[in-house]
Amino acid sequence: MSGRFPRRPPRLLNIFPQLRPLYFVTFNTYRRRPLLANEPVQHAWLDFARCAPQHGAWPGRYVLMPDHVHLFVALGDDVDLSRWVQSLKSILGKTLLALDQGKPYWQEGFFDHLLRSNESCAEKWEYVRHNPVRKALCAGPENWPYQGEVFRLEFE
């Protein structure tokens, strides 16, 4: 026995058939302040997300609500989800600062759920994309301008 552990438990590939685990992530603004559903924040998010593969992350679908963010992201082996979310909050925080929004911006922490199948991903997306409708922000999910897909993420 070499004393070395494999990078992943062997059973992990049985649970996650794709090479990169796929996370559903949600984080909130401080005291649920409505800071996020606007074009400058969406542009900052998209700039961050499009460069993410250079840092081992592949953001997928997302919805920016006024007071929280929902997103899907696949991460490489060496990427820490907490650090990635902290980087995203930092970038968005700089945009909020430029918009003269007072600090603090973020509720501490975030929620993450490791998705286990394409079915669970589809269920989460259906729930998330209807969030603006449930909050009476638009008539249908297709009418919400602060949503989209950066990279197509699918289970193989």
85 domain-assigned: yes
* Rounded Cα distance, 101 and 79, in Å: 30
pLDDT, tens digit, for every residue of 46-70?
999 999 999 999 999 999 999 999 9
Altogether, the residues listed in the chain come to a count of: 156
Percent of the chain with pLDDT over 70: 87
The pTM of the full predicted model, rounded to 2 decimals, is 0.86
pLDDT number for residue 156: 56
Quick one: average pLDDT of 59-83? 96
pLDDT number for residue 146: 98
pLDDT number for residue 66: 98
Q: Which residue, 128, 140, 135, 124, is CA-closest to 32?
A: 135
Q: Dihedral, CA atoms, 137, 138, 140, 144, nearest 10 degrees?
A: -90
8 domain-assigned: no
pLDDT number for residue 14: 39
Q: How far is CA 110 from CA 2, 11, 100, in A?
A: 37, 27, 24
63 domain-assigned: yes
2 domain-assigned: no
10 domain-assigned: no
* Rounded Cα distance, 105 and 127, in Å: 25
Using DSSP, state whether 32 is helix, strand or coil.
helix
CB 153 within 8 A of CB 122: no
Alpha carbon 111 to its chain's center: 10
Domain containing 81: what range? 17-149
Structural domain count of the chain: 1
Helices (H) and strands (E) in the chain — how many of each? 5, 5
pLDDT number for residue 42: 98
pLDDT, tens digit, for every residue of 99-155?
999 999 999 999 999 998 887 888 999 999 999 999 999 999 999 999 999 999 976
155 domain-assigned: no
pLDDT number for residue 19: 56
pLDDT number for residue 117: 83
CATH number at residue 99: 3.30.70.1290
3 domain-assigned: no
